[in-house]
Amino acid sequence: FYADENAAISCTGYGEDFVRLMIAKRAADFVAKGMNAREAAEAAIALLGTKATGTGGIIMVDRLGNVG
């Protein structure tokens, strides 16, 4: 999990890959760069798919209450 002023994120899946790649933090960073929660979640999972063999998911909410 990760939370900051932009978003709160929880992840599920193979934990080592999520930690090593900082997937939750990256999702929050995507929101900080202007993506909405859904776009950020999709981008973070896409990154996971390119950098690791594991699978997983993200649920997140941005500071405006949008979910992804």
Mean pLDDT of the residues in the chain? 94
Can you give the pTM of this predicted structure? 0.90
How would DSSP label each residue in 1-68?
-EE-SSEEEEEEE-HHHHHHTTHHHHHHHHHHTT--HHHHHHHHHHHHHHH-S--EEEEEEETTS-B-
Return averaged pLDDT per consecutive 10 residues of the chain, 68 residues in all.
96 86 97 97 95 89 96
Which pLDDT belongs to residue 16? 86
